[in-house]
Structure 1
């Protein structure tokens, strides 16, 4: 359901109610449904029917119709990624991976919030140490979402109906064994890419947990000591490799 739908629906209903009051109230336009001319009666009835239809359609659109997910290139925030992933959660072949990706999205949000809270308790935002940590956390978060983009790119070209056609064992044998073998290999490669991205993001989540532990055990606030922390080194190297790959 669209989260802002109920508020928008109330606004729609209020607007339609005000319109009907303005048109039908004797003190305003004073259109009469009964007792007036045939034209007034027809116009009044039409207004009420159209109002009802607008409310019904608005209710469906705002409360039940899934919002259109933006294209992968135009994803901007966590809500965009959730909407894009949710399009595939009812596809049987993809459901397990999609649910894991949605779970990972929720977890990285919580971990980032916890890390920022801990950093705020140990350092001042103006300190170099704070900025060092924040830079790494922000960089690895970007890498996480880059992996999600990779997943969504693969999901966008996946043909669930064709996959079912070639994997349904109860279907009469219509294709040669060689063709089925090649098609199966292609789909396995496809799923391997998706699984790889999910595994990479799970590794990022684990490293963020390790970073949180290392911060909690940190004795020194010297930024040089911070740069030598094992997890900081690993995350910095991971971010650096990704930048080289992108370039």
Structure 2
């Protein structure tokens, strides 16, 4: 349970307690459920029962009922992506890929910070060269998260129980060999897509490392323009190819 739900539950309990104190305390409304009139007794007992039901229902909602799934399209921050990936971390057949995706998210954040730090040391933020580098880094970061979103789209429709059903060697003869093979081929397609996205992101991380190296060599290499840097050309080509693919 996250801290937000805990505070909500504590607030609910505190509110119920204060309400009961206000109604049953002799110094306030003073409803007497022991020696009072039949109406007072009924009202007091009803209040206690309703209070218990509210606390129980509120506890269920806040402690046990899962939060509504956030649409993958609405993921915005790195924290959103990490939280979504963590939902699949305990699925045995997906764990290795999910752990790698989480590691990639951590690495791109570090590489981006390093690049921004190096750029701020070499250029003024108002310089055209600085702005070109920032634009390219921003574009490649969007491409990286687009790949993470692609992974999440595949994971969201992957049925781990069905996978186990059709890959469990202890269930011979339940299905035809043709059906089992078709199912396995379909599952392999899922894994291939995920592996493809992970591989693409590893390539992006490599290019950011290469870009960092080339920036560090700017003083000793004579490039007529930023666009002529080998890694910048490769990154720009990658971005263009992705835009064409999305059209």
Aligned to 2:8, the other structure's residue is in SS state helix
Following the alignment from structure 1 to structure 2, what is the Cα–Cα distance between the partners of residues 210 and 3? 41
User: 5 Å matches for 1:12-161?
Assistant: 12-59=12-59, 61-62=61-62, 65-161=65-161
For residues 183 and 8 of structure 2, the distance between their equivalents in structure 1, rounded to whole angstroms, comes to: 47
Shift of 1:30: 3.0
Deviation by residue 1:208-237 (Cα, 9 ceiling, x = unmatched):
2333333344328x9954333332222222
| Equivalent residues of 1:2, 1:63 under 8 A apart | no
Q: Report whether the alignment pairs 1:170 with 2:170.
A: yes
**Could you tell me how far 1:58 is from its partner in structure 2?**
4.1
Any conservation in 2 of the 1:5–1:63 contact (CA below 8 Å)?
yes
1:234–1:139 Cα change, 3 Å? same
1:194 Cα deviation from its structure 2 partner? 0.9
For 1:185 and 1:26, how far apart are their aligned partners in 2?
A: 73
What is the aligned partner in structure 2 of residue 246 from structure 1?
Answer: 246
Per-residue CA deviations over 1:42-82 (Å, capped at 9, x if unaligned) read: 44344345445544554554456543222222322223323
CA contact (8 A) 2:91 2:160 kept: yes
Rounded to whole Å, the distance in 2 between the matches of 1:137 and 1:56 is 51
Change in CA separation of 1:54 and 1:174 when aligned onto 2, cut-off 3 Å:
same
Gaps of 5+ in 2: none
Please give the per-residue CA displacement for 1:156-196, whole angstroms capped at 9, x wherever unaligned: 22222221111000113222323322222222122111111
| Partner in structure 2 of residue 219 of structure 1 | 219
Where in structure 1 are there 5+ consecutive unaligned residues?
none
State the partner residue of 2:201: 201
Give the 3 Å change call, closer, same or farther, for CA 54–211 of structure 1 in structure 2. farther
Whole-Å separation in 2 of the counterparts to 1:139 and 1:76: 15
The 3 A distance-change label for structure 1 pair 234 and 53 is farther
Q: 2:7 aligns to what?
A: 7
TM-score by length of structure 2 reads 0.83
CA deviations over 1:2-27 (Å, ceiling 9, x no partner):
35333333433443343334333444
CA contact (8 A) 1:132 1:223 kept: no
Q: What is the CA–CA distance in structure 2 between the aligned matches of 1:24 and 1:217, rounded to whole Å?
A: 78
- Flag the structure with larger Rg: 2
Question: CA 1:105/1:64 → structure 2, altered by over 3 Å: closer, same or farther?
Answer: farther
Aligned equivalents of 2:48 and 2:114: distance in 1? 53
Task: Give aligned pairs, total.
Answer: 246
Task: Give the Cα–Cα distance (whole angstroms) in 2 for the partners of residues 129 and 154 of structure 1.
Answer: 38
1 CA distance for matches of 2:217 and 2:3? 40
Cα pair 2:24 2:31 within 8 Å, conserved:
yes
